[in-house]
Amino acid sequence: MSDVSNARPAAVVTGASEGIGAELARVFAEKGHEVAIVARRGDRLAALADEIAASGRSRPTVIELDLLADGAVETLAARLAEASLTPQYLVNNAGFGLIGAAAELDQAEQLAMIDLNVRALTALTLRFIPELSQTKGGVMNVASIASFMPGPGFAVYYATKAFVRSFSEAISYELKPAGVKVSCLCPGPVITGFQARAGMSFEGLMGAMKPALVPAEEVARQGYDGLMAGQRVVVPGSVNKLMVWSARLSPRAILLPLLGTAQMKRA
């Protein structure tokens, strides 16, 4: 644990180079938080930091870092300390998905997905709990409505998000006595760079999931509001809430073929 006595509290946002992560950084900055943005693509982070500074907010600290690299968690802690920052809010947004049958997708890529979506998120959360407890802050873990259901054609990704939601809900209970809020943001489909990385067809997504689409900036705002309100799980969009409710009530024997067919339309 770092000494937070002389450090400035900050919102640390991973995966902030685009999409929901970038929007979350904008929202935290708009709400008056000092922000540290983390991702592999330093040029995009710098552009985002310049944009936020141009709006009259404090310029975010840019931390170019691959969270899959050896020692990445301690590297991040050291970079924050160098900037005289301590995490008050940790936003674990970094992650990716891969669409296709698990047996046919590249094994190393699927394991890397687990490492980023699950291991890195867990390691960051555990590493910074002492600082978050001292600052009475919070954790936002970004999952997906995928966390509520099995996902044939997206099996490993759905499983990682199920872990994220389960982990988040459990530690929200554990950390409540310490004054630390934990919220799991579970968006439905959002048009970002996620689709291209996952190998998904944009046309297929628009055809099958258009009613559930929520803009990234709205997802970020609802996520922020939910975290500050102490809401354990945040599902943006009425259609997505309905999908989650339906998934919870539907027998797996019915849900599996429905989801499998839907995923193939998105490939």
Could you confirm whether 158 is annotated as catalytic?
no
Number of domains forming the structure of the chain = 1
Residue 44 placed within a domain: yes
pLDDT digits (tens, 9 = 90+) for 205-253: 445 566 668 899 999 999 999 999 999 999 999 888 998 988 888 877 8
Residue 3 placed within a domain: no
pLDDT digits (tens, 9 = 90+) for 130-181: 999 999 999 999 999 999 988 899 999 999 999 999 999 999 999 999 999 9
Angle at 205 between CA 233 and CA 211, to 5 degrees: 60
pLDDT of residue 3: 55
For 14, 26, 110, 139, 179, the CA distances from 175, given in Å and listed in that order, are 21, 26, 31, 10, 7
Among candidate residues 256, 154, 247, the one with its CA nearest the CA of residue 205: 154
Strand pairing class (61-64; 35-39): parallel
| pTM for the structure as a whole | 0.89
Contact 188, 213 (CB under 8 A): yes
Residue 32 placed within a domain: yes
Residue 17 placed within a domain: yes
pLDDT digits (tens, 9 = 90+) for 53-90: 999 999 999 999 999 999 999 999 999 999 999 999 99
Percent of the chain whose pLDDT exceeds 70: 88
Helices (H) and strands (E) in the chain, counts: 11, 7
Distance, CA of 14 to CA of 32 (rounded, Å)? 18
108 token code pair: 């190393």
Residue 1 placed within a domain: no
Q: Which of 89, 157, 158, 224 is catalytic?
A: 157
Residue 2 placed within a domain: no
**264 band by pLDDT with thresholds 50, 70 and 90:** low
Residue 13 placed within a domain: yes
Phi-psi region of 199 (alpha: psi -120 to 50; beta: other; left: phi over 0): left
pLDDT of residue 168: 98
pLDDT of residue 133: 98
- Where residue 89 sits, what CATH number does that domain have? 3.40.50.720
Q: Where do we find the tokens 């982070």?
A: 45
Helix 216-228 vs helix 19-30: crossing angle, to nearest 10:
50
pLDDT of residue 44: 97
Residue 127 placed within a domain: yes
Distance, CA of 81 to CA of 75 (rounded, Å)? 10
**Which residue range forms the structural domain that includes residue 32?**
8-266
